[in-house]
Amino acid sequence: MLAALLALPGQTARADEGGVSFWLPGFFGSLAAVPAQATGWSATSIYWHDSVHAAGDVARAREFELGRIPANLTASLSANLNSNLDLGFLIGTYTFATPVLGGQASASLMGIYGSNSTSLAGTLTGTLATPGGAIPFSRFDNINSSLTAFGDLYPTFQLKWNAGVNNYMTYVSGDIPVGAYDSARLANIGIGHWAIDAGGGYTYFDPKAGHEASAVLGFTYNFINPSTQYQSGVDMHLDWGVSQFLTKQWQVGLVGYLYQELGCDSGSGDRVGCFRSRVVGVGPQVGYIIPLGDNLQGYLNLKAYGEFANENRPAGWNLWLTFNISPAAPTPPTSTKPRITK
């Protein structure tokens, strides 16, 4: 029954340049390191809603990114940034039957489609340097941007090992920047640059008692954005989940994440300085295993996060609704004793 509870690879954008990152915190969760119980193809669909708010340096960084703050302007910005995203993720995964380094290997590709609605409103005040001297400057901005389009592509390769109640995994993932991105647009669904991410995780899982605890730690290296000449620093992210199986089908628990940028942003397009970003999230989860005949099974999971302790990054809340279809665990062959006749 637990074949469908394999780690569900994946992402979309939000945290370094303009408060936006490659890694989507909360992507990994409970049972992240448990190998699948059957090999072959599986499919995962995720509906993700995100509602966030930011002010101060994040709003100012977005103004710089859009080229709306002149280079010769010394200014302060009192503004608010609000964003709502409704995205669908579709993930195809193939789990190989042949072991790799003694573990179970899988490869997946994720695509994204959905909408992003973002607004920025505030007052920019300061002094503008001119050949005739400094002159006062004041401007009110009210920008509304909406977009419905495809996002970037995210390939992922994973290896998993099992030793009793202990499970281990490692992964490598990346961003192929083919999604809807325009550096002059406030709302985007792509991030505009390549990225590579790698890490490892552990799951304690006792099927008899139903106890489970998982954690996955990863790091992202961001390549320079050719449109803005801005390079985000190295990011660290920790996703975790704890749960209890009340029955063979029902699961309840908690999930959370910590996202912290370790390296400073850089590049000739960086006009906001180091701009290290951070956010913490925690919330509840519930899961249900759905039998789908002899050969397939489904898994439905709902989890939600409330965010806090953010720095140089929007914060708010997000909701995940995940449905996975995968091959059911093979039924052990029934042993038969030979009949003895007299």
Q: How far apart are CA 265 and CA 19, in angstroms?
A: 11
| 29 token code pair | 């969760």
Question: pLDDT tens across 229-262, in order?
Answer: 989 999 999 999 999 999 999 999 999 999 999 9
For residue 338, pLDDT beyond 90: no
Structure tokens belonging to residue 63: 């103004």
The domains of the chain, with CATH numbers, are 2-327 (2.40.160.40)
- CA 26/CA 49 separation, integer angstroms: 12
121 or 85, greater pLDDT: 85
- Please indicate whether residue 2 or residue 322 has the higher confidence score (pLDDT): 322
User: Between 19 and 223, where is the model more confident?
Assistant: 223
Mean pLDDT, residues 214-227: 96
